[in-house]
Amino acid sequence: MFKGIRPIQYGGHEVWPLIEGGKGVAATNHASAGAWAAAGGIGTVSAVNADSYDAEGRIIPQIYRALTRRERHEELIQYAIEGAVQQVRRAFDIAGGKGAININVLWEMGGAQRVLHGVLERTRGMVAGVTCGAGMPYKLSEIAASYNVSYLPIVSSARAFRALWKRAYSKAQEWLAAVVYEDPWLAGGHNGLSNAEDPRRPEDPYPRVKALRETMREGGIPDSVPIVMAGGVWYLRDWENWIDNPELGQIAFQFGTRPLLTQESPIPQRWKDKLTQIMPGEVLLHRFSPTGFYSSAVRNPFLRNLEARSERQIPYSTEQAGDHQYSLDVGVKGKNFWVTLGDLQRAREWHGHGFTEALKTPDNTLVFVTPEEKAIIRKDQADCMGCLSQCQFSSWADSETNSTGRLADPRSFCIQKTLQDIAHGGDTDENLMFAGHGAYRFRQDPFYSNGFVPTVKQLIDRILTGD
């Protein structure tokens, strides 16, 4: 047992201060969460468009039959509630009364509040807590408390927590079980980098977490309420000076990337195989997500294609002005787009390489794509089912008008489509593949040598040694 690691009280149980990261669409389910809880930790069911099962136990494909986005959005919410309820019930059974089961939701997912109400109403007594990030979830405390469930907000700065505390959480302090600090430079998936922070200059998490604890103390929150360190956590021995540290108070640890490579992990085999091949620097912190947030994913051909698409981009003017004196004669038909001489030459070169279609972006630029890419982009935008509260790629918004009021952005992608595809056996080169920046350690850690894939129990036992 690694020194200083002791069980904590959570959800009426004594549990290890080890939390399974919730991750997103179908990357964490009943099998992984139930096993994590059964091993004495806090398992987390992803309640982000979770899978449902038919009577034979087969996954029910999430097919959208309605003609309008608003109606498809309703289908999405029903799928989401039913799937998460089934996952929680199965995880609870697997846990067998040990550990605890949390659910994870993204505040910026479509219908987040309705999904949360729908799931918690039908899983009373099974869910210990709700972790929630990707946005500022002010209503989280109120919703969780109404079902006698704890809440664990995910933040990336003391400032974000202070805003949440002052506006809402101080009114439901007794249900605040922990605050998750997610390192915005190292965590996989969507990250909470603010405009004041430089994505190319990672900051040491220690002073940031110390500031978070000081903010919590200002609010009268006792040190026994843990801060959960998330993002970049691999070995507990790397965090030795955090454990039993009076400056930080109680610390727990969240593991997102390591549990992907377990026998109970629901991700497909080819995704697991790919994890063992990732090299240092191959996880990219990027801005292509339709959420508008930074996010971290493996820099595979899918992501490289998005990078290349954004590089084939030129600004334009609808009238002759300044340096924009040249009429664009490729990629656009019968419309006046004025560009600089250098951009005109670039556009002609891209056109010659097969990127013959110019698509407008919300920033008064044009990106050049192949006819095949254009067809996919337009189809994906038309098929939108409102999986986000606001989507840059399709212009959907969960509002009265159902529009962001901005032009749909062809530099982004349909996140629901790609995450569902990779989670259910799709090509790991042709889909978004989220991972934390420490994923390269699968190659280096002797625990995984000779292709060894542990059970969740074996992984937790290993983690508890410090390794």
For residues 315 and 250, membership in a common domain is answered with no
pLDDT at 277: 95
Assigned token pair, 269: 């085999």
178 in the same domain as 109: yes
What share of the chain in percent tops pLDDT 70? 100
Q: Are 371 and 260 contained in the same domain?
A: no
Distance CA 294, CA 299 (A): 14
Whether 435 maps to a domain, the answer reads no
Give yes or no for a contact between 45 and 104, defined as CB atoms under 8 angstroms apart. Answer: yes
* CATH number for the domain that contains residue 58: 3.20.20.70
Predicted TM-score (pTM) of the model is: 0.94
Report yes or no on 284 lying in a domain.
no
Do the domain assignments include residue 286?
Answer: no
Residues 199-203: what's their mean pLDDT? 91
Per-residue confidence (pLDDT) for residue 43, from 0 to 100: 98
What is the rounded average pLDDT of the residues 266-270? Answer: 96
Claim to verify: residue 129 and residue 185 sit in the same structural domain: yes
State residue 367's pLDDT score. 98
Q: How far apart are CA 169 and CA 161, in angstroms?
A: 9
Residue 53 and residue 123 in one domain: yes
Residue 416 lies in a domain: yes
Q: Is the CB of residue 413 less than 8 Å from the CB of residue 288? A: yes
Positions of E strands within 299-446: 313-315, 326-327, 338-339, 357-360, 365-369
Amino acid 134: pLDDT:
82
Beta bridge partners of 297: 284, 434
Distance CA(233)–CA(239), nearest Å, equals 8
Residue-wise pLDDT tens digits, 69-87? 999 999 999 999 999 999 9
User: Is residue 240 domain-resident?
Assistant: yes
Q: Residue 182: inside a domain, yes or no?
A: yes
CA of 357: how far to CAs of 30, 332, 336, 382, in Å?
44, 7, 15, 18
433 in a domain, yes or no?
no
Both tokens assigned to 16: 């290890």
pLDDT at 4: 87
How many domains would you assign to the chain?
A: 2
The rounded Cα 340 to chain-centroid distance in angstroms is 39
pLDDT mean across residues, the chain: 95
What is the residue range of 350's domain? 301-423
Structural domain contains residue 431: no
Per-residue pLDDT tens for 379-399?
999 999 999 999 999 999 999
Instruction: Say yes or no to pLDDT of 140 above 90.
Output: yes
Structure confidence by residue, pLDDT tens digits, 338-388:
999 999 999 999 999 999 999 999 999 999 999 999 999 999 999 999 999
